[in-house]
Amino acid sequence: MTDAALPVTGQAVERFVERYLKSLGAEIEKEGHKWSVTIPESTDTDLELDGATLEVTRDPNDVSEDVLAVSPRSPFVERVLEEAADRVPVGSLSLTGDQVDIELPPWITEGPADVVNRTFTPYYDRRALCVLFHVGIETVSEYQRKELRAVATDLNDNEERPQLAETYLALIENGHELSTGRAVGEQPFIDSLDAARAVVEDDISPLVRETRNRATRSAEVELDEYRQFVYQRRDELVGEIDNLTNRIQEITDRIDATSEQEQRVESLRRRKKLHAERDELRTEFDNLSSQIERDFSEKRQEIWDRHSLTVRIRPVTATVLSYERGDLDLQLELGETSVTKSYAYGVGVGVINEATCDQCGQQLTTKNSLTLEMDKTVGVDCCFR
């Protein structure tokens, strides 16, 4: 079980695209990995799919130009996600003990005790909201990363249910069909959606920081290169202007020293040309100095804007999951010792409450897994040495 939003696999993307197209009324004929799509003319979509050929592939660059690739991060799938995000279709799915196998937590399976019997007794149904989010992290200049992530949150308390998201994705990847939308109150839906979004935000925050740092470094490098170019050019202009001034003075001295008319005329012509060249360089120098004084902040802002980070988290589908909740009774054995324990359990969710050592109260984990001591369940790392 993971504490983070789950990246969605290529198979889940395939199922999502298929369900979305069918929700538009499209008919899909499959031949291997290729789909032929027919869509009614009255369908409200901008995807222009009627008569299109789609191909399920790992690499979107492997398909021919007239085929649309069904693959994570392919341009076509991105367009589907953008359109779906404006509609957020809601489906429903019921999970029962008959559909989903009972999953034992690693703090049991990794321990020395054997589970010789298990009984799940459902008492009531709980509902959760599983949302597929389209996550985009990009700068205009260099970096772009887009993907789908799944998050499940309980509609009662808005607590994240990571294993429920895993169960949902597994069912969808195996072709499990969703029912039509089940009624959910507006405020519970919004609250649960906000809680799920917060999970994604927390999950991608390290990636956002990394991308922002990279973009900042790129902006700083570009700004420094621009600054070096401007000041270097200004220094070059100073040198060129000084050189022309010296040449003009040399010609002036030559004019004053010669009495030949033809040489004086030629020198005057050359001096006039050098004056014009120096005036042009002085104009460029003045403009560059003004740019440094007045426009440098604008150039800096332009560079920062080009490297600014945009993060978009948009829901593309939402599924109301109804799951059985009750007690999971486990008979545990280790050698001659036998203990029966009862845990709050949800189908597709797993053991709900944190399990602790009966002796010291420390949390049971994969490292501090469950073992038996007399009639107690204790941790192998905390109370069983």
pLDDT, tens digit, 9 for 90 and up, residues 308-346: 778 888 888 888 888 889 999 999 999 889 999 999 999
Return the pLDDT at 6: 52
CA distances from 274 to 186, 252, 254 (A): 79, 11, 15
Better-scored residue on pLDDT, 218 or 107? 107
pLDDT tens-digit readout, 223-255: 777 777 877 888 888 888 888 888 888 878 777
Q: How many residues does the chain have?
A: 385
b/e 51-90 (16+ beta carbons within 10 angstroms → b): ebebbbbeebeebeeebbbbbbbbebbeebbebbbeeebb
- The lowest-confidence range among 103-112, 151-160, 293-302 is 293-302
pTM: 0.65
Residue 135 has a CB neighbour count (10 Å cut-off) of: 21
Winning range, highest mean pLDDT, from 8-17, 171-180, 211-220, 238-247: 238-247
Instruction: State how far the Cα of 208 lies from the Cα of 311, in Å rounded to an integer.
Output: 8
Which is more confident, 19 or 178? 19
Q: Which of 134, 100, 137 is nearest to 20 (CA)?
A: 134
Residues 92-104: pLDDT tens digits?
888 877 778 888 9
Phi, psi of 319 (to 5 degrees): -125, 125
Give the three-class secondary structure for 33. coil
d(CA 26, CA 68): 15
User: Is residue 2 over pLDDT 70?
Assistant: no
- 313: β partners: 135
DSSP summary character for residue 181: P
Lowest mean pLDDT among 282-286, 342-346, 366-370: 282-286
Tell me the C-alpha distance between 197 and 364, whole Å. 29
pLDDT at 1 over 60: no
Q: Residue 178 CA to chain centroid, in angstroms?
A: 25
Q: Write down the pLDDT at residue 356.
A: 92
Question: Residues of the chain with pLDDT > 70: what percent?
Answer: 90
